[in-house]
Structure 1
Amino acid sequence: MQYKLLGRSGLKVSELCLGTMGFGPGQAWSIDKAASFAILEKFAEAGGNFLDTANRYTNGESEKIIGEFIARDRDQFVVATKYSLYDNTTNVNASGNNRKNMMRSVDASLKRLNTDFIDLLYLHIWDSLTPVDEVMRGLDDLVRMGKVNYIGISDTPAWVIAQANTMAELMGWSKFVGLQVEYSLLQRAPERELLPMAKNFGLTLLPWAPLAGGALTGKYLKGDPGRIKEGSKRLNERSVAITQEVMAIAEEIGVEPAHVALRWTMQQGISCIPIAGATKLHQLEQNLGVLNVQLSPEQLGRLDKVSAIDMGFPGEFFKEDGVRLANFGGFYDRVEKR
């Protein structure tokens, strides 16, 4: 296991993050404490220290399990959790990005995690209601109180994040260090705005569903129905073609398809730590194999080609020869790119 700095901070985290959404009873697909502990033990033995959860995962049971596990050596682990999603349906302010919900949700998470502080707190999903300054001032207050060490953001438009981090810099408030979004070979839409924004602000990219719910492992093409629904975009013609290319490259280099799909996210020219969830020990063991895999430029090119998306405006506009000529005076190919 190698370690990366999280965004523009000095926090050192493992190059793979363990997703724990399935830890705890309550869902048909989730697992009990004993099975969760086995996965956590294996991850820790491999050098993993970065754990991802949220207040809503298995109705708070995920946080409780993690809290019990890390109690043996709290400072060994970097625990990320999230606020925003509801934890009851009787209080109109028990959800959303507002300060009231932020404070009550964090206090509840601290109790479930049985800890005095959260290493990384994410805003989970943008609610399009709460002013940016209310969010950033509240998050900075949590850092100043010592309840939170670092802040991140998930599932939010790029312009909102850019506004928030710029405001925080001007005001001397804590800034986001990590961006969590759905990103994989089957979901490349974040490349239009979110990834360039993250790279500009020095945010670490933390993709959720980097294996597209298991689709990129090839299991659905091998007859395993899993939890995927009929008509899912993860089984359409484009997704099948991408998965087949992943499987072909995996066979060529003698690794698992999951390794190819995960490594692709890690070789996109931006600091990236995929969040790999597991509800079975063999899934974690398989995912850990990515640490010893590298893809060649030729292999990356094949994957990029089969999964390419329309970048829309202005992304496609910037690629036009006439625009590049006008902007660079014929020197585009001879100028270093950031």
Structure 2
Amino acid sequence: MSMDRYYLLGRSGLRVSPLSLGTMTFGKDGPYGGAWGSTDATSRALFDRYLEAGGNFIDTADYYTAGTSETLLGKFIEERGVRDRVVLASKYSYNSTTPGDPNAGGNGRKNMMRAVEASLRRLRTDYIDLYLLHTWDRITPAEEVVRTFDDLVRAGKIRYAGLSDVPAWYAARAQTWAEAHALTPIINLQLQYSLVERSLEPEFVPLAQTLGMGITAWSPLGMGLLSGRYKPSEGRPQGEGRLTSAVGGEHLGLFNERNWGLVATLEKVAKELGRDMSQVALNWVAAQPGVGSVIIGASSLKQLDGNLAALDFTIPAGLRQQLEEVSAPAVPFPHGMFSNPYQLNMHGNAAVGDKPAGYTSPVFTGLAPTVG
């Protein structure tokens, strides 16, 4: 993999970089910006460096730094004249501007229409390439979300639609409803995925592969636990990352025996490869089935350069197996029943397998498949 090789996102013709620039830290406003946001100058430097490396996929949301992330991106994109080059993704769901107004948040049609207009103004553009529901609100029917996405595509305000942080059944309902009624399909699922957090594998990966949705992985470094700042060989918890703050690793439940064993193995594998721990962790996610792009964030050019170099090598099968064994999550019910010996018994102990590789081909053979 490399930054100058672009992948189709889901079952679509949209080509994106294997690493996406996450801009949650662009700006100092809002509850998170004040804690770890970047200045305008640093944000601009990160944006420029990402483009210079060949990246084209930029992720933001109206909630990030209370809208400042979108405002800065709009300014940077306009000043560089790269609107047609970049694939700009933004999200809606959260009420960060109008406390007390129940319709200024959530996933409903009224809020989506309001939010997209506000994002377009901040981003200084007349369309958003990929627009996502940010987080499931537990209320709005999937049919309403899909119909509104379709209206926005027809109006030319967005090009593609996606879902972030929703249950698998909800994503399946949305996609099948879109297919059944010839509406704009969902091409992207944005989900947390890392060696620390692998719970999406039993449901979301086959869902994405079957229904044509490319996964974009957020927090691929496990909230920073896999960044290399926390090394069991040097004592735990050590490092200057946010996980050692008052609201950190202990509060998030990250500092536990399972994760320290994982970090220790990652440290060992990284040393054997002569790579940073963060690069190995990013490389692992980028090569996983179903993943179309990995969202990376950075607070400095040095950190961004290190992340961008995460695609320059391949993890040997033996070392990859070590990482997967130490990070393997418990198999949730009923998935344990979908493997041997249950399957052998079901098929009369006859050998039954999948078709060989190459039996089916990607839609666009000039590029690597998006999923699978």
Paired with 1:205 and 1:240, the residues of 2 have a C-alpha distance of: 27
Match of 1:261 among 276, 281, 288: 281
Q: Where does residue 53 of structure 1 map in the other structure?
A: 60
Which residue matches 1:30?
Answer: 37
1:224 aligns with 2:269: no
Kept in 1: contact 2:16–2:87 (CA 8 A): yes
Task: In structure 2, give the amino acid aligned to 1:148.
Answer: I
Q: Extract unaligned runs of 5+ from structure 2.
A: 358-371
TM-aligned CA distance change 1:151 to 1:328, over 3 Å = farther
| Counterpart-to-counterpart distance in 1, 2:132 and 2:293 | 15
Partner SS state of residue 263, structure 2: helix
RMSD: 1.6
Q: Give the alignment partner of residue 235 of structure 1, picking from 240, 252, 255.
A: 255
Correspondence 1:321 to 2:341: yes
1:234, distance to aligned residue in structure 2 (A): 2.1
Q: Per the alignment, in what secondary structure is the counterpart of residue 274 of structure 1?
A: strand
Distance 1:191 1:306 in 2: 16
Q: TM-score scaled to structure 1, two decimals?
A: 0.96
1:172 aligns with 2:151: no
Percent of aligned pairs sharing the same letter: 42
TM-score (norm 2): 0.87
Letter in 2 for 1:227: R
1:311: how far off? Answer: 1.6
CA contact under 8 A between 1:318 and 1:324: conserved in structure 2?
no
Deviations 1:112-158 (A, max 9, x none): 00100000001001111111111110010000000000011000011
Distance 1:104 1:14, change over 3 A: same
The Cα of 1:270 is off from its aligned counterpart by 2.2
Q: 1:148-187 maps to which residues of 2 (within 5 A)? A: 148-187=158-197
Gap change, CA 1:169 and 1:220, over 3 Å in 2: same
- Residue 324 of structure 1: how far off its partner (Å): 2.9
In terms of mean alpha carbon deviation, does 145-154 or 265-274 score higher?
A: 265-274
Match of 2:21 in 1: 18
Comparing 241-250 with 318-327, greater Cα deviation is found at 318-327
Aligned pairs for 1:16-165 within 5 A:
16-26=19-29, 27-71=34-78, 72-87=81-96, 88-165=98-175
Q: Which runs of 5+ in 1 are unaligned?
A: none
Q: Which 4+ stretches in 1 moved above 6 angstroms?
A: none
**Cα distance in 1, alignment partners of residues 226 and 138 from structure 2:** 32
The answer as to 2:229 corresponding to 1:215 is: no
Q: Deviations over 1:20-70 (max 9, x none)?
A: 000011212101111100000100000011000000000000000100111
| Alignment size in residue pairs | 338
